């Protein structure tokens, strides 16, 4: 009878926990997490006595991994759809709903845009020219804007695509990779030919694009950690990895009680790119360099609670919130009207109106240097201009996500290939997380599963398995 392999997972965010879940019953798993609790960017706190998500607040429903995982760990009945509402952008002085059927802001039916006022007459005219403009195949990775501005015009990129991508990556279309940030559009670009006709008539997904969890999306990592059966050590920061002559791994960690030394047959690094880069430096120089080169955007989430009966003259805002194109010069990049969007949140505090605003795109790290009260005031000012006066909040909370969102800049796919190749030389070592193949929770879960499977299928240390080492 062979004993189970031991696996150490560094990082107790959703990626690492998904890996732990995938290995349940097949390996002795220990998760080492530097923070006081697992979850990483999934964290539910409280504001005015109500549960509020401080980081991610919904999971993608168009791909199955996150929703299926939530169901598998017992949260199926807590999954909640948002109230139906169009994506709205705050631009050209008003809140303007986008017509349905856009692909990350690119309208599949330009005619439907005309009444929204999102684009000027010139912007609309430019958009309508797209199908007749020559479109040679794009042969290399380019910035999103480099391709799209040529196709649909700069104004459409600035007012339609930029706010949508900003909502996902907090990044800029001038830096984000077409291939990695918009793979579906990149496929069309690589074939050549006009873009809008290729999007028109595509089957539209039905139902909600995203789903939330009643009581907070932060419940998901806690449930996954519990259901995985893994040993979880919080307050444990991994400082170094060492490969033993027999091919196993020794992990050095720091805890409040002093240093901790652990050994395992395999290690999965489920930490942000900069943390993985530091740990891989002595073992995988190429991966180290490429991981260290992945930039991050820092954001702050300002959550506020208002008394419904003391709302300002304009009353309470309607809809689920709005996105903001940077071209209009406002600080807030998005706002979510939580009490409108999530039934469970309205029911939890019928006398309150809860909302959150996000501040900080790539390159705006300096905004996070401001004290909390400044960020609250900035968010309130922008909200008042966008949605009308809503009075002063009863309570506010600022959650800072320093280097919170990796930026898939031009060349990301090539960088990824080099990282994977370098790491493949090290048996018993895997990486997963938001830095690789998608920043959304569902994509993170998928990378965690894939890393776990590679570890599970590897030969035990000392037995010839993968090439190299």
Which pair of tokens denotes residue 95?
A: 């809140």
Nearer Cβ to ligand FAD (90/296): 296
**Shortest distance (Å) from residue 298 CB to ligand FAD:** 9
**Shortest distance (Å) from residue 328 CB to ligand FAD:** 21
Nearer Cβ to ligand FAD (35/389): 35
DSSP-assigned letters across all residues of 22-81: HTTTTEEEEEE-SSSSSBTT--EEEETTEEEESS---EESSSSHHHHHHHHTT-GGGEEP
Nearer Cβ to ligand FAD (380/405): 405
CB distance 212 to 31 below 8 Å: no
**Shortest distance (Å) from residue 159 CB to ligand FAD:** 22
Nearer Cβ to ligand FAD (60/161): 60
**Shortest distance (Å) from residue 69 CB to ligand FAD:** 12
Nearer Cβ to ligand FAD (355/439): 439
Nearer Cβ to ligand FAD (19/148): 19
Which pair of tokens denotes residue 86?
A: 């169009």
Residue 44 has φ and ψ, to the nearest 5°, of -105, 125
Angle at 153 between CA 152 and CA 157, to 5 degrees: 85
Query: What is residue 319's DSSP assignment?
Result: S
- Interatomic CA distance for residues 452 and 395, integer angstroms: 42
How many CB atoms within 10 Å of residue 315? 12
Which pair of tokens denotes residue 117?
A: 């006022």
How many CB atoms within 10 Å of residue 100? 12
Name the residue among 317, 302, 441 with its Cα closest to residue 358: 302
**Shortest distance (Å) from residue 302 CB to ligand FAD:** 11
**Shortest distance (Å) from residue 24 CB to ligand FAD:** 17
Q: For the CA atoms of 64, 184, 180, 150, what is the dihedral angle to 10 degrees?
A: -150
**Shortest distance (Å) from residue 149 CB to ligand FAD:** 27
Nearer Cβ to ligand FAD (147/169): 169
**Shortest distance (Å) from residue 10 CB to ligand FAD:** 5
Per the listing, tokens 């050994």 go with 263
Residue 176 to residues 144, 213, 342, 345, 418: CA-CA distances in angstroms? 6, 30, 31, 34, 19
Q: Binding residues for ligand FAD, per CB under 6 A?
A: 10-16, 32-35, 40-42, 55-60, 237-238, 270-272, 275, 299, 301, 401, 404-405, 433-434, 439-441, 444
Nearer Cβ to ligand FAD (17/188): 17
């Amino acid at each position: 009878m062979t004993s189970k392999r031991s696996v150490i997972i560094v990082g107790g965010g959703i990626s690492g926990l998904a890996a732990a879940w995938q290995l349940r019953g097949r390996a002795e798993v220990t998760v080492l997490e530097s923070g006081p609790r697992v979850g990483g960017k999934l964290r539910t706190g409280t504001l005015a006595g109500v549960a509020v998500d401080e980081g991610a607040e919904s999971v993608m429903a168009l791909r199955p991994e996150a929703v299926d995982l939530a169901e598998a760990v017992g949260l199926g009945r807590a999954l909640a759809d948002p109230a139906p509402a169009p994506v709205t952008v705050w631009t050209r002085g008003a809140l303007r709903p986008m017509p349905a059927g856009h692909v990350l802001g690119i309208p599949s039916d330009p005619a439907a845009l005309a009444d929204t006022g999102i684009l000027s007459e010139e912007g609309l005219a430019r958009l309508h020219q797209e199908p007749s403009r020559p479109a040679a195949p794009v042969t290399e990775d380019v910035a999103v804007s480099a391709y799209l501005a040529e196709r649909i015009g700069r104004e459409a990129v600035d007012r339609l695509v930029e706010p949508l991508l900003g909502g996902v990556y907090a990044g800029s279309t001038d830096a984000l990779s077409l291939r990695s940030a918009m793979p579906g559009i990149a496929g069309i670009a690589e074939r050549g030919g006009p873009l809008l006709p290729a999007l028109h008539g595509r089957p539209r997904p039905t139902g909600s694009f995203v789903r939330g969890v009643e009581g907070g999306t932060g419940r998901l990592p806690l449930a996954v950690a519990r259901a995985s059966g893994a040993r979880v050590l919080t307050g444990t920061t991994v400082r170094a990895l060492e490969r033993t002559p027999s091919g196993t791994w020794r992990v050095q960690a720091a805890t409040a009680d002093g240093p901790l030394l652990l050994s395992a047959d395999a290690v999965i690094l489920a930490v942000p790119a900069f943390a993985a880069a530091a740990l891989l430096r002595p073992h995988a120089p190429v991966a180290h360099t490429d991981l260290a080169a992945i930039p991050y955007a820092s954001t702050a989430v300002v959550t506020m609670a208002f008394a419904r009966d003391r709302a300002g003259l304009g009353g309470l805002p309607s809809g689920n919130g709005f996105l903001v194109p940077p071209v209009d010069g406002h600080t807030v990049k998005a706002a979510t009207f939580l009490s409108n969007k999530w039934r469970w949140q309205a029911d939890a505090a019928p006398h309150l109106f809860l909302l959150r605003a996000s501040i900080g795109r790539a390159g705006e790290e300096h905004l996070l240097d401001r004290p909390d009260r400044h960020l609250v005031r900035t968010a309130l000012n922008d909200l008042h201009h966008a949605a009308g006066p809503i009075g002063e909040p009863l309570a506010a909370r600022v959650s800072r996500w320093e280097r919170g969102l990796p930026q898939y800049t031009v060349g990301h796919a090539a960088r990824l290939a080099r990282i994977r190749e370098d790491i493949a030389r090290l048996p018993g070592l895997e990486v997963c997380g938001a830095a690789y193949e998608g920043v959304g929770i569902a994509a993170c879960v998928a990378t965690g599963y894939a890393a776990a499977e590679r570890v599970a299928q590897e030969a035990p240390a000392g037995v010839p398995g993968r090439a190299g080492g």
